[in-house]
Amino acid sequence: MPIIRRTLIGAACAVALTLPMLAQAQAIKIAGLYELSGAGASAGTMFKNGVDLAVKEINAAGGILGKKIEHSIADTQTNPGVAKGQAAKAIDDGAFAVFGPVFSGSIMVSMAETQRAEVPNFTGGEAAAITQKGNPYIFRTSFTQTTAMPKVAKYIATGLKAKTVAVMFVNNDFGKGGRDAITKALEANGVKVVADISTDSGQVDFSAPVLKAKNAGADALFVYTNEEESARALRELRKQGFTKPVVGETTLTGQKVIDLAGEAANGATAHVGLTVDAPNPLMLKFKAKFYQETKTIADHNGIKGYTGVYVLKAAIEKAGKLDRKAVAQAMKGLSVSAAKQPGVLLDVSFDDKGDLDRESFLVEVKDGKQVVKEVLPPLSRK
């Protein structure tokens, strides 16, 4: 009898010990590689908060295919080398999917690791080159520059009726990709680029670039820099009394930029793929939830992180099994409607390269808030 009892106790202990391991094995591991410090801290933190919120909601609603998500977080320090190392570590740790990095320069380097290991990788990077390398495991959470810039150029040419434009860009992969795309798109619309002004990532003093922009005498200025630099550029533009229209793409009118630039942000216009001020009940609900969780208003990066997780959920459900290859395959040509999967906020469709298409917005900053001027339809609908 004592032997049976001892065996039973032993078996119970063994079961108790293996239970957490079983739970862990069943969880869907998402590895987050975010810019939590360095020049990309604003963007990375927002993206991470968006992913966090989506993971929390999905887990509360029972997970994906009945399995909970486990979200691990690593700081890339906005350093491509660090990001690559962390991508390798995430794969060693058995990540089912990788989210981030957000900066184009980092994802271009780190995605080699996820591609090799055949792990789906969702990025916030917007540089056109990311999806042009033929990596079947890379998926965007926002527009590529080659989709967004023609929309901006069209607005500059027909909306502002500008004949000449000065282009101010940040000298990194994101900025250079954007500069090339906008220059091409402007030329196609018959607008001449009269000044090509390079700035540095992390630049503090914008007096010299703004002076160059003023002296260019262009009809409008296109600014394409990261969040903090955009805020400093806007402040300096106001300081030096720049009166021509200032146009941007996504970052220029982001909430973080508005917070940092204060009144100087008023009047700036931009094409944005995502904005919490979109006239859309799902987006407004997301804005409120995000604020409740983080006490900050989400910018496009917050929405990118949040919707990215729901797109992954839709892809896993479409594949019907937790298989990385099958999920990556399911992403090709995936169309998710917000009516069926409210977490994606806006109807979205993916092509076979990992680029996405959805409606977008033309916004202007008025009294410290983004105001939607126009809703632009998805490219495929035109």
Number of H helices and E strands in the chain, helices first, is 12, 15
Q: Return the ∠ at Cα 215 (arms to 214 and 216), rounded to 5°.
A: 90
Nearer CB in complex with another protein: 34/222: 34
Binding mask 17-56 for another protein (x = CB under 8 A): -------------------xxx--xx--x-----------
DSSP for residue 250: S
DSSP 79-126: -HHHHHHHHHHHHHTT-SEEE---SHHHHHHHHHHHHHTT--EEE---
Task: Single out the residue of 50, 17, 12 nearest to residue 283, CA to CA.
Answer: 50
If 0-12 CB within 10 Å is exposed, 13-18 middle and 19+ buried, where does residue 66 land? exposed
Q: Does the protein bind another protein through residue 263 (CB under 8 A)?
A: yes
Q: State in angstroms the smallest separation of the CB of 215 from another protein.
A: 7
Helix (H) or strand (E) run with residue 15 in it: helix 2-26
Token pair for 267 = 């009047």
Q: State in angstroms the smallest separation of the CB of 290 from another protein.
A: 15
Q: Does the protein bind another protein through residue 70 (CB under 8 A)?
A: no
Nearer CB in complex with another protein: 40/343: 40
Q: Does the protein bind another protein through residue 176 (CB under 8 A)?
A: no
Q: State in angstroms the smallest separation of the CB of 174 from another protein.
A: 17
Task: Please give the residues from 181 up to 240 whose contact with another protein meets the rule CB under 8 A.
Answer: 198-200, 203-205, 207-209, 211-212, 215, 228, 231-232, 235, 238-240
Q: Which residue is listed with tokens 């239970």?
A: 19
Q: State in angstroms the smallest separation of the CB of 200 from another protein.
A: 5
Chosen residue from 217, 262, 281, 333 binding another protein by CB under 8 A: 262
Distance of CA 103 to the CA centre of its chain: 9
Q: Does the protein bind another protein through residue 294 (CB under 8 A)?
A: no
Contacts with another protein by CB under 8 A lie at 36-38, 41-42, 45, 171, 198-200, 203-205, 207-209, 211-212, 215, 228, 231-232, 235, 238-241, 256, 259-260, 262-264
